[in-house]
Amino acid sequence: MEGLGLFTAHNVWMMVCTALVFFMHTGFAFLEIGLTRQKNTINILFKNIFIITVGLLLYYILGFNLMYPGFAEGSSGFFDFAGFGIAPPEGGMTAAYAESDAGANDGGYTWWTDFLFQGMFAATAATIVSGAVAERIKIGPFMIFVVLYVGIIYPLAGSWKWGGGFLDMRETPFYDFAGSTLVHSVGGWAALVAVWLLGSRIGKFKDGKPQAIPGHNIPLATAGVLVLWLGWFGFNGGSVLSADPELTSITLVTTCLAAAAGGVVAAFVSFLRYKNLDLTMFLNGILGGLVGITAGADQMSPEDAIIIGAIAGALIVFAVSFIDKLRLDDPVGAIAVHLACGIWGTLAVGIFGALAGVDQLISQLIGILSYAVICIVSSFLILFTLKKTVGIRVSEKEELEGLDSHEHGMSAYADFRMNEH
């Protein structure tokens, strides 16, 4: 009974974390609509709902077995596929339960819980892209991109590490605890390519200088960040893959300290540079700290976490400015948060904590470059093909009048009108 009780505790914890990661999609939706204009609210919400629903279906149909194919001994570790659908092992338990000499005493959880937890991660990568391309992408081509990127590219790339692929086979394996690279940079690289191919929103740049296009609901964006922070308890806490009290506790401590440090430092650096207390920079600093700690949250001391989060917070301010100088229009700061801080967090594993060392740092660099190649090439091929065939950008009239009325025929605030100019 003791073993069964421990197994149940692990499984319940993983299900709670799954629910928290699912709740993060509410946070993404709030953040994106809050930082963009009223006239595009329905469009953003539609994209986010499409991503989570279609993402789960695709992950069941082929994603899970593409990401966890069970690479055979001697395999190159680049590609394998265990078949469509899900065929759980006998008893429907994960390896930690099924292969343990002590049975349930060693933990584990059901195969179905594993599928659902990992499926929640899959949709997150495309949600990152959604925010970056907000207010000017056609809904149809975006949906096609989501199907291909979430259905094939994300799980294929994920198999290289989490599925036991070539990055995990190295003498010094690449390490990414909860997805600074495998989730956040995978979304960030695609966002960078998409923003470049789409071009900036009308009015974003004047005489080469960036112009502020304020979001219509900053309180909602703030709520979104707080929801995301809460969801990260499941994102990182669940990545322990058990209810181990010591490891889950330190993981949640490092996660929260990095978030706090990221927010404070981003606000402070932004004030020094621009002489104003910018709430949106504060919010993105929190997210940057969360993304930065995610690769090594289980390996870091509280002091390490504060340093990593602080550097991520400062990085946010300079990354946002640099992206503007490149004349790339990212309405929600997704590239700075998820790509820049995802890269930093992945490198931090080789600099701080239990795995610090030259060999580990080299392995982290190889992992970052590997994901950069597959994400940049695949997202460019998908989006460039769509651009040259059906087009990916709405017309000038549609953009000026709003995607809600033209793409969806409805308004998010039917009885309320505000000046968008």
Q: Which amino acid belongs to residue 236?
A: N
Q: What is the pLDDT of residue 92?
A: 64
User: Does residue 341 belong to any structural domain of this protein?
Assistant: yes
Q: Is the distance from CB of 182 to CB of 158 less than 8 angstroms?
A: yes
Give the H or E element holding residue 73. Answer: none
**87-96 CB contacts, 8 Å cutoff, 24+ apart:** 88/112, 96/241, 96/242
Give the H or E element holding residue 22. Answer: helix 2-34
Q: Is the distance from CB of 350 to CB of 173 less than 8 angstroms?
A: no
Q: What is the pLDDT of residue 94?
A: 66
Distance of CA 97 to the CA centre of its chain: 29
Distance of CA 143 to the CA centre of its chain: 18
DSSP string, 166-228: HHHHSSS----SS-IIIIIIHHHHHHHHHHHHH-PPTTSEETTEE-----S-HHHHHHHHHHH
User: Does residue 262 belong to any structural domain of this protein?
Assistant: yes
Rounded Cα distance, 298 and 352, in Å = 12
Residue 369, domain extent: 2-408
- Note the pLDDT tens digit of each residue in 44-81: 999 999 999 999 999 999 999 999 998 988 899 999 99
* pLDDT, block means (10 residues), the chain with 421 residues: 73 96 97 97 97 97 95 91 85 53 54 92 91 97 97 97 96 97 97 98 93 96 98 97 94 98 98 96 98 98 98 98 96 98 98 95 98 98 98 97 95 71 46
Give the H or E element holding residue 352. Answer: none
Rounded Cα distance, 201 and 219, in Å = 23
User: Does residue 416 belong to any structural domain of this protein?
Assistant: no
Rounded Cα distance, 344 and 126, in Å = 20
User: Does residue 415 belong to any structural domain of this protein?
Assistant: no
DSSP string, 277-317: --HHHHHHHHHHHHHHHHTTTTT--HHHHHHHHHHHHHHHH
List the structure tokens of 104: 């349930």
Rounded Cα distance, 328 and 372, in Å = 18
List the structure tokens of 224: 């979104």
3-class SS of residue 37: coil
In whole angstroms, how far apart are CA 294 and each of 121, 366, 373?
A: 13, 18, 21
Q: What is the pLDDT of residue 281?
A: 98
Give exposure, 236-267, as e/b (b: 16+ Cβ within 10 Å).
Answer: bbbbbbbbbeeebebbbebbbbbbbbbbbbbb
User: Does residue 254 belong to any structural domain of this protein?
Assistant: yes
**Which runs of consecutive H residues, i.e. helices, occur in 60-110?**
64-67, 95-98
Residue reference for tokens 């976490």 = 305
Which domain CATH number covers 258? Answer: 1.10.3430.10
Rounded Cα distance, 211 and 315, in Å = 21
* Nearest of 41, 23, 25, 218 to residue 134 by alpha carbon: 41
User: Does residue 420 belong to any structural domain of this protein?
Assistant: no
Q: What is the pLDDT of residue 218?
A: 97
Q: What is the pLDDT of residue 7?
A: 82
Q: What is the pLDDT of residue 108?
A: 77
User: Does residue 301 belong to any structural domain of this protein?
Assistant: yes
* Torsion over CA: 326, 331, 332, 334 (sign): negative
- This prediction has a pTM of 0.94
How many other CB atoms are there within 10 angstroms of residue 49's CB atom?
12
Q: What is the pLDDT of residue 3?
A: 61
Q: What is the pLDDT of residue 107?
A: 56
Q: Is the distance from CB of 294 to CB of 235 less than 8 angstroms?
A: yes
How many domains does the structure of the chain reveal? 1
User: Does residue 33 belong to any structural domain of this protein?
Assistant: yes
